[in-house]
Amino acid sequence: MNLRPSRALVRRALSAHSGVGLAIGALMYLLCLTGALVVFFEEFERWEQPAVAEDASYSIAQLDAAAANFLAAVPQVPETVYLVLPSESMPRLHVAAGDAEWFVAADGRLAGTLAAAWTGLLQALHVHLHLPYVPGLILVGVLGVMLCSLIVSGLLAHPALIRDAFRWRRGGQGALGEVDLHNRLSVWGLPFHLMIAVTGAFLGLVSVFYAGAAYVYEAGDREAVLAQMYGADARVASPADAPFDIGRALDNLAEVAPAAEPMYVALQQPGQPGQHLEIAASLPQRLVYSEIYRFSPAGDYLGDQALASGPVGRQLAYSVYRLHFGHFAGMPVKLLYGLMGLALTVVSASGVNIYLAKRRRRGLANDLWVAVVWGGPLALALAALAALAGLPPLPAFLATGLAAALGAALVRDVDRTRRGLQLALGAGLLAVVAAHALRFGLGAGPAVADAINLTLLSAALTLLALSARRLRRDRLSPVTAGA
């Protein structure tokens, strides 16, 4: 039995692979780039606000005071107040409801608001492309489906991909080296890339799934579908004036689920009939985001939401977040996800480079693609610089991207544009490190802030060195089409 695909199938798959890749190239590149960075959103939040006091411990009195101070500070009592407990990756206690969020001092006082504008921009770009939330989320889900299509068509278009997994013709002519880099990273990272594509598609399209299931099975009742998927909301018979006993609830959780590690305490419907407590806790050796344990205001255990013990589909759905963003097993997994995300970013860029290099005629697409590949990171760097200066980062991001595209269209020289953007990116990263040091000082915050600054400094110096090297090399080499 011959399982090798026919030549006609390979040609059709290659055509489909190129067409889909070009159609979504710029958006896919942006999603891959921001995805590699957003894995570290907690670390970036700490980098943006390094002066916030950090402590991995907390007290019940601190939680009680934080909840009381928060409810006194907000103009209207919210439906849910979240007391987010400190963790290894985010050793900062904070209290939040809706858009209101404060850090909490050791005595329970509200100690300043969250101000991580650049990290918020990064998350919004990756999750919904900074478009209106639901349409943007659906578009990102569609891109995840198209990434699945790219992976499958890429495999079918290269029947010798596995055999040539370690072939890299770096000394080859034209785009051969880039073709090998694209194919090798695609093969080595195949399980990761496919997992990211599938989980990204699910996260983006889950609202569409709910709406469809509600229409077909529940007469349009989305709440009924959500209850089946994630468990129904708790119904508790409690008076509106019953005080919350957070300490007793935590003590009872330790008895019911000794291995559970509390993540946050939610005060549900405070000051209303039916108010109750929920404690979300992660479970060792489990990918589910959390189990939610429910308690009366007095701290009596009422049961859990069965997120980790319910139907298999529910457990899988509640595991997608950790699997997609790499938030399990600590920093080693985060670093692995970051590196694999950068590899997927390179695959995304090199795929379009290969197509452009094969075209007989170079056009505006070549120039604009260089602006996308190098203007995107530059836009993120200058957005960070704006945030450090106390300015909104989105205008800086958009203006930089537009300037890069206009500059590329005017220069109409791929090498000059690439060199200029690389030099600008290197200088921009240096400026970000300098601005952070000037505003907050050196070594004054958590170690992770220094680690990020050292990484940015290393990237800046590497870019500047490579730009100088490429400038010397390009004087002796013909113009290429790639970015």
Please determine, for residue 6, whether its predicted confidence score (pLDDT) is greater than 80: no
Q: Which residue has the higher pLDDT, 90 or 226?
A: 90
Backbone angles phi, psi at 481, to 5 degrees: -100, -10
Does 160 score more than 80 pLDDT? no
As a whole number, mean pLDDT of residues 234-254 equals: 94
pLDDT in tens, 257-282: 999 999 999 999 999 999 999 999 99
Distance (Å, rounded) from C-alpha 285 to C-alpha 134? 32
The Cα–Cα gap between 380 and 391 comes to 14
Written as six digits, the tokens of 257 are 């689920």
**Cβ neighbours of residue 163 closer than 8 Å, sequence gap 6 or more:** none
Q: Return the pLDDT at 175.
A: 64
Q: How many CB atoms lie within 10 A of CB 215?
A: 13
Position 59 pLDDT exceeds 90: yes
Average pLDDT for the chain: 89
Query: Which residue in this structure is represented by tokens 């957003």?
Result: 38
Give the confidence band of 164 by pLDDT, cuts at 50, 70, 90. low
Q: pLDDT tens digits, residue range 117-145?
A: 999 999 999 999 999 999 999 999 999 99
> What is the spatial distance between Cα 84 and Cα 114, in angstroms, rounded to a whole number?
13
Of 118, 30, 130, 28, residue with least CA distance to 376:
30
Residue linked to tokens 């505006």: 364
Q: What is the pLDDT of residue 469?
A: 77
Q: 88, 330 in Cβ contact below 8 A?
A: yes
Per-residue pLDDT at 394: 98
Specify the amino acid at residue 93. L
* Terminal-residue alpha carbon distance, the chain: 42
pTM for the structure as a whole: 0.90
Q: Which pLDDT score, from 0 to 100, does residue 466 have?
A: 84
Cα–Cα distance for residue pair 305/278, rounded to 1 Å: 10
Contact (Cβ atoms closer than 8 angstroms) between residue 283 and residue 322: no
Each residue's pLDDT tens digit, 19-41 = 555 568 899 999 999 999 999 99
169: pLDDT confidence band, cut at 50, 70 and 90? low
Question: Which of 20-29, 61-70, 194-203, 404-413 has the lowest average pLDDT?
Answer: 20-29
What whole-number percentage of the chain has pLDDT above 70?
89
Cβ 85 vs Cβ 250: under 8 Å: no
| DSSP classification of residue 320 | H
Domain ranges of the chain: 1-49+115-231+316-358, 50-114, 361-483
HSE (CB half, 13 Å, CA atoms) of 42? 14
78 contacts 64 by C-beta, under 8 angstroms: no
Q: Please give the structure tokens belonging to residue 142.
A: 């569609």
Strands 291-295 and 110-113: unpaired
- Which tokens belong to 413? 């020289």
143: left (phi over 0), alpha (psi -120 to 50) or beta: alpha
Q: Tokens at residue 75, please? A: 């103009």
Q: Residue 110, SS3?
A: strand
- Model confidence at 16: pLDDT above 70: no
How high is the pLDDT of residue 415? 86
Kindly list the distances between the CA atom of residue 327 and the CA atoms of 244, 277, 282, 410, in Å, as whole numbers in the listed order: 31, 25, 11, 43
Helix axes 117-128 and 364-388, enclosed angle (nearest 10): 140
Please say if the pLDDT value at position 173 is more than 60: no
For the chain, the helix, strand and coil percentages under 3-state DSSP, each to the nearest 5: 60, 10, 30
How far is the C-alpha of 310 from the C-alpha of 300, rounded, in Å? Answer: 22
Query: Over 80: is that where the pLDDT of 62 sits?
Result: yes
In three-state secondary structure terms, 95 is strand
CA 242 – CA 235 distance, rounded (Å)? 15
**Cβ neighbours of residue 452 under 8 Å, at least 6 residues apart?**
43, 44, 47
The proportion of the chain whose per-residue pLDDT surpasses 90, expressed as a percent, equals 68
- Copy the structure tokens of residue 354: 């290969």
For residue 63, the model assigns a pLDDT of 98
Which pLDDT tens digit goes with each residue over 207-225? 888 888 777 777 777 788 7
Q: Give the DSSP letter string of 27-83.
A: HHHHHHHHHHHHTTHHHHHHHHSTTS---S---HHHHHHHHHHHHHHSSS--SEEEE
Amino acid 20: pLDDT: 57
